[in-house]
Amino acid sequence: MGIENMKMPQLGESVTEGTISKWLVSPGDTVNKYDPIAEVQTDKVNAEVPSSFTGTIKDLIADEGDTLEVGEIICSIEVEGEGSAPVEQTPKEEPKEEVDETPQTATKTKAPSKDSGNKARYSPAVLKLSQEHDIDLNQVEGTGNGGRITRKDLKKVIESGNIPKAGEAPAPKAEDQAPQQAPVKEKAVQQPAKQSAPAANVPVIPGDIEIPVSGIRKAIASNMVRSKHEAPHAWTMMEVDVTNLVDYRNSLKTEFKQREGFNLTFFAFFVKAVAQALKEYPQINSMWAGDKIVQKKDINLSIAVATDDALYVPVIKNADEKTIKGIAREITELAGKVRSGKLTSQDMQGGTFTVNNTGSFGSVQSMGIINYPQAAILQVESIVKRPVVMNNGMIAVRDMVNLCMSLDHRVLDGLVCGRFLQRVKEILENTSKENTSVY
């Protein structure tokens, strides 16, 4: 018999953490390899995590609601044969990454008991809550597995008003001293997240509604803050006359729906135009990588799909190789997966540029936040009829749309982005029955 550790998987490109929304197993349950053991939320996808082993659930390291980084242990499984990582090693290994142990402490913790070892494995959610309320974790009694401290334990302490502070009382056990510095180091690592702390001071009066922040909303907030802080955003807009495109699509939509079984949307035409322009201006299809810029070979377009409480960005792979019909089919299928909760991590991976259909809810001008680590995002606004002065000096009512582009100024300059948008504009304005086929 041996013990194997299950770790938080990477459920999408650029995903760095996930939240355990629901455990599907309990300690003592027998699982087969590939059986789902937990539901996990990230900023990109909701997914079931399958077991990597056949065996018996030994310990659930994370609680429901805990957010863990990719690669952190979420549970341990007892399997037949030799285990690659005995359970006693877990508390020894993690402090090396998270705790600056002194020689004196290291000597005292050579042979920790199971209870003290479990208590030492603080989840990121517990560490964050303890930092926000300045709680000395050494003075908190845990009710989790093996005496591990959970968020519920900290919330109970906070509600009681009797918050133990460091230095107020000596820790009950010498061997519990090892984790004492964990909050200090974690506090340095988590510093960006602390920027949201002032929100806790918002006064709540009768009639106000407090809405808990879900794991996926926290992940979205974290990624958006990262994008805005790391990438110097610049913004540009171009207006496009899509009168011929509108007429062409409207002449096809009824027959197309009857023949194909799905809608021919305006958005499919825009996605195809962007894919074609990216092929001609590959600099836009790039990512910042610190000491280099990576220009991606494949043109994989992320499309934003919103639900009532979250935003997902599934990917149309090799969009430049697909017809307008093929793109329309994928848009329909990916949007359906998002709204039915069947989107997979594979559907989210590999995006190189994002196209956002903000016009679907009537927006005419907006500035998107770049989908990190991509270099740009294009907002396709609402098509509206406006009076336009034509080349012959006459005024005519035309179908106009604004294309709004946010760009990472470390990677891209205004000149190449302007030329890229001009090319997208040219393709769209020349889309017509005579020039364009949807097949």
Q: What is the predicted pLDDT for the residue at 346?
A: 86
Give which of 238, 225, 219, 239 is closest to 369, Cα–Cα: 225
Residue 48 pLDDT: 85
Q: Residue 406 carries which side chain, given as an amino acid letter?
A: S
Range of the domain at 45: 2-192
Which SS3 state, helix, strand or coil, does residue 205 take?
coil
Question: Do 373 and 326 sit in the same domain of this protein?
Answer: yes
Q: Are residues 264 and 341 in the same domain?
A: yes
Q: Would residue 215 count as lying in a domain?
A: no
Boundary (domain end) residue, out of 136, 165, 192: 192
| Structural tokens at position 84 | 């690659």
Q: Is residue 65 domain-resident?
A: yes
Mean pLDDT of the chain: 82
Check whether 437 has a pLDDT greater than 70. yes
The answer to whether residues 186 and 265 belong to one domain is: no
Query: Residue 428 and residue 242: Cα distance in Å, rounded?
Result: 6
For residue 57, the surrounding DSSP H or E stretch is strand 55-60
The CA distance from 264 to 261, in Å, is: 10
Angle subtended at Cα 15 by Cα 11 and Cα 19, rounded to the nearest 5 degrees:
70
173 part of a folded domain: yes
Report pLDDT for 17: 81
- From the list 197, 263, 242, the residue with the least C-alpha distance to 427 is 242
pTM summary value:
0.63
Q: Rounded to the nearest 10 degrees, how much is the dihedral formed by the CA atoms of 389, 390, 392, 397?
A: -90
The predicted pLDDT at position 85 comes to 42
What confidence score (pLDDT) does residue 112 get? 41
| Between residues 372 and 380, the one the model is more confident about | 380
Q: Which residues contact 127 (CB under 8 A, 6 or more apart)?
A: 182, 183, 186, 190
Q: 214 CB contacts (<8 Å, ≥6 apart)?
A: 19, 41, 309, 310
Confidence of residue 134 (pLDDT cuts 50, 70, 90): confident
Whether the per-residue pLDDT at 432 is higher than 90: the answer is yes
pLDDT of residue 101: 39
> How far, CA to CA in Å, does 242 sit from each of 52, 248, 303, 377, 402?
52, 10, 21, 20, 10
Do residue 188 and residue 235 come from a single domain?
no
pLDDT-derived band at 110 (thresholds 50, 70, 90) equals very low
Q: Report the distance separating Cα 61 and Cα 193, nearest Å.
A: 23
Domain boundary among 175, 192, 209: 192
pLDDT of residue 146: 63
What is the pLDDT confidence band of residue 46, given thresholds at 50, 70 and 90?
confident
Distance CA 213, CA 219 (A): 10
Task: Answer for the pair 421, 236: CB distance below 8 angstroms, yes or no.
Answer: yes
pLDDT of 236 reads 97
The neighbouring-strand residues paired with 401 are: 240
240 and 107: one domain? no
Residues 42, 47, 48: CA angle, nearest 5 degrees: 130
Same domain, residue pair 325 and 381: yes
Plot region of 393 (φ>0 → left; ψ -120 to 50 → alpha; else → beta): left
- Please name the amino acid found at residue 401: V
Domain count, the chain: 2
Residue 257 has pLDDT above 80, yes or no: yes
Average pLDDT for residues 45-49, to the nearest whole number? 81
CB 319, CB 299: distance < 8 Å = yes
**How many alpha carbons fall within 13 Å on the CB side of residue 384?**
16
Highest mean pLDDT among 45-59, 60-74, 277-291: 277-291
Q: Is the pLDDT of residue 427 over 90?
A: yes
pLDDT band at 123; cut points 50, 70, 90: low
Known active-site residue 409: yes
**Spatial distance between the Cα atoms of 277 and 280, rounded to a whole number of angstroms:** 5
What would the pLDDT profile of 310-331 be if each residue is shown by its tens digit? 788 999 999 999 999 999 999 9
pLDDT at 71 over 60: yes
Is 229 annotated in the active site? Answer: no
Q: Which of 399, 403, 362 is nearest to 382 (CA)?
A: 362
Query: Which one of 15-29, 120-134, 389-403 scores highest in mean pLDDT?
Result: 389-403
Element of type H or E holding 2: strand 2-7
Tokens of 91: 């508390």
| Pair (260, 349) in one structural domain | yes
Is residue 171 in some structural domain?
Answer: yes
> How is 300-334 classified by DSSP, letter by letter?
-EEE-EE-SS-EE--EETTGGGS-HHHHHHHHHHH
219 located within any domain: no
The verdict on residue 121 lying in a domain is: yes
Give the least confident one: 2-6, 170-174, 350-354: 170-174
pLDDT tens for 391-424 read 999 999 999 999 999 999 999 999 999 999 999 9
One domain for residues 388 and 301: yes
pLDDT digits (tens, 9 = 90+) for 208-235: 998 887 767 777 788 889 899 999 999 9
**CATH number for the domain harbouring residue 409:** 3.30.559.10
Which tokens in the block code for residue 347? 């559907």
What are the strands, taking DSSP E only, across 102-250? Answer: 233-241
Same domain, 399 and 282: yes
Secondary structure of residue 274 in the 3-state scheme = helix
For 181-201, what is the mean pLDDT?
43
Which is catalytic among the residues 100, 134, 298, 413? Answer: 413
Q: Is the domain of 161 the same as that of 35?
A: yes
Whether residue 374 lies inside any domain: the answer is: yes
Query: Which of 170, 192, 214 is the endpoint of a domain?
Result: 192
- When mean pLDDT is compared across 62-71, 138-147, 353-362, the lowest value belongs to 138-147
Residue count of the chain, please give it. 439
Both 258 and 326 in one domain: the answer is yes
How sure is the predictor about 160, in pLDDT bands with cuts at 50, 70 and 90? Answer: confident
User: Which of the two residues, 300 and 311, has the higher pLDDT score?
Assistant: 300
Q: What is the reported pLDDT for 380?
A: 98
CATH code (residue 98): 2.40.50.100
Q: What is the pLDDT of residue 44?
A: 64
Same domain, 160 and 44: yes
Residue 201 covered by a domain: no
